[in-house]
Structure 1
Amino acid sequence: MRLLYINPNSTVSMTEAVVEVARASAPGLDVLGWTNHDGPPAIQGPEDGAAAVAGILKLLPKARAEAVECIVLACFDDTGLAEVRAAAHCPVIGIGQAAFHLAALLGHRFSVVTTLPVSVPVIEENVAAYGFAGHCARVRASGLAVLEVEAAAPATLARLAGELAAAAAEDGVTAAVLGCAGMAALAPRLSQGSGLMLVDGVAAAAHLAPGLVGAARAMRG
């Protein structure tokens, strides 16, 4: 199965990290990763998200030509999900959507640990729109910018670990959803001592995509 991760921002190193995580999570899949070079370097809030959509849509004819069977939008805000889903030839899922579904399917009440406060309203709206308000205790902003998270300095890892510890102590949850594509590669380090199941949307999408494609085929007959 050919699975395409589209990074809505223009930071190529983030695309490469996402693809590495996806391939490790689902080694049987043919995983591609494309960067939206027309997007902002990072998506932090609704304005950045809106600026990225046109560039994502430009990639869809190429996805069809290369026989992609499922598209994953690799921004935790699920940037452009409705627009891309309406225009694409195949199933489309966002990493935020995938993470929420997987956490709920595994029976967890969760908090989300994300980047800047500007991202919190977008994530809260998505949680509610997908029907997971009852599963999500809180969306926590770490105060870290997206590219800070991707750089993964020791102080950044410590800040994220502290936010996860606070979620475990204060929120009454059994899982934490990592609310940024840049956190995907950090999940193994952050899980140590967190006391929570960590759900990364990049890996979650890799696990869910084959079932989504199979269901779409079956329903088409």
Structure 2
Amino acid sequence: MKPPRLLLVNAFQLSEGAYALRPHDGPREALVMDYANVAHLLADTEWTAHPGARATHGDWPVETREEFLIVGANRVRIVREACESKQYDAIVLLGGGDPGFLECRDIGRRHGIPVTSCAHAQMHLATMLGHRFGVIDISEQHNTQMAQLVVQYRFTEHCVAVRNINHPLPRPTHDGPQSIAEEKARALRGEPSAMLDAAVAAGESAILEDGAETLILGCSAAYWMRPLIEARLREAGWDVPVLEGYSCAIEMARMLLRLGRDASGLAFPSDPPRRWRPRRVV
């Protein structure tokens, strides 16, 4: 059996500069943040990473609804061209806020190609591990996007809360003392990290106060914390799974390929559909 051919598509591409959290070009491994955490999942696949469409919302990471809408629309073209090329078996959308996911999945369905994304995959897998999950996220603006996805994906029964650790993405409107890159570097060196400490505290509050049984991470810039949060909570006596989006989205794509499925033709109808329904229940 041939290895699956995956395309990993970043949400957007920034120029090299103060606001960039990853390189905008270079080897494929450099285009996947925290590649070491997902390398074992890609080892037996043929995969390519796309840097994402050049950002048109501004040269900084995305947090607002307007920005998510813009980068989602920009990513649609990449996915359409990838599907039409017939070079890939599945497409994985990178980025915690899932910009353009449903639209890209609609395109994938028309070509028989599974399309997965980070928040969507995490929420599904979280409910396989426990009934109720909590979201640990980075900022007030980004929390709004995550809360909207919980409703859009119909996980309101399962999501107990979105917890904000207030470490926003680097962008012109944020001039606070926190730096995700610096906090990450400190934590990976084994030094104290205020961002990691806040995430662990938020996780414990989600367990004790909200009733979470599984934890997921909202923004891809926070995915590096997954093993560290889980280890810290385990040391504190909490046997709670912590998920991050890249791993979940990659594995969901592979699962759909093994099952020979992409999406329901009733949820994502063809154009035109072979049959139409006189009534849709919402």
**How far apart, in 2, do the equivalents of 1:103 and 1:219 lie?**
20
* Shift in Å, 1:162: 2.1
* Shift in Å, 1:62: 4.1
The aligned residue for residue 119 of structure 1 is 142
The aligned residue for residue 166 of structure 2 is 143
Corresponding residue SS for 2:47: strand
Larger radius of gyration: 2
* Aligned equivalent of 2:123, options 97, 100, 114: 100
Q: Is the 8 A contact 2:256 2:262 kept in 1?
A: no
* Aligned equivalent of 1:68, options 52, 76, 88: 88
* Shift in Å, 1:18: 5.0
Bigger mean CA deviation after superposition, 145-154 or 190-199: 145-154
Bigger mean CA deviation after superposition, 82-91 or 104-113: 82-91
Deviations 1:33-57 (A, max 9, x none): 2222422531212111112123312
Q: Is the 8 A contact 1:25 1:206 kept in 2?
A: yes
Bigger mean CA deviation after superposition, 82-91 or 58-67: 58-67
* One-letter amino acid matched to 2:254: P
The aligned residue for residue 77 of structure 1 is 97
The total of aligned residue pairs comes to: 220
* Shift in Å, 1:103: 0.7
Aligned CA distance change for structure 1 residues 142 and 168 (closer, same or farther; 3 Å): same
The aligned residue for residue 47 of structure 2 is 31
Q: Is the 8 A contact 1:108 1:174 kept in 2?
A: yes
* One-letter amino acid matched to 2:226: A
Normalised to the residue count of structure 2, the TM-score between the two structures is: 0.69
Aligned CA distance change for structure 1 residues 217 and 97 (closer, same or farther; 3 Å): closer
**How far apart, in 1, do the equivalents of 2:114 and 2:262 lie?**
13
Matched, 1:129 2:152: yes
* One-letter amino acid matched to 1:214: R
The aligned residue for residue 45 of structure 1 is 64
In structure 2, runs of 5+ residues without a counterpart are 14-19, 24-29, 171-178, 187-192, 265-282
The aligned residue for residue 216 of structure 2 is 177
The aligned residue for residue 200 of structure 1 is 244
Aligned CA distance change for structure 1 residues 54 and 19 (closer, same or farther; 3 Å): farther
Q: Is the 8 A contact 2:98 2:119 kept in 1?
A: yes
Corresponding residue SS for 1:134: coil
CA RMSD of aligned residues (A): 2.5
Deviations 1:80-134 (A, max 9, x none): 0122122333211110000000011223411001111112232222112222111
* One-letter amino acid matched to 1:83: E
Normalised to the residue count of structure 1, the TM-score between the two structures is: 0.87
In structure 1, runs of 5+ residues without a counterpart are none
Question: Whose helix proportion is higher, 1 or 2?
Answer: 1
Bigger mean CA deviation after superposition, 145-154 or 173-182: 145-154
The aligned residue for residue 204 of structure 2 is 165
* Shift in Å, 1:183: 2.3
* Shift in Å, 1:29: 2.5
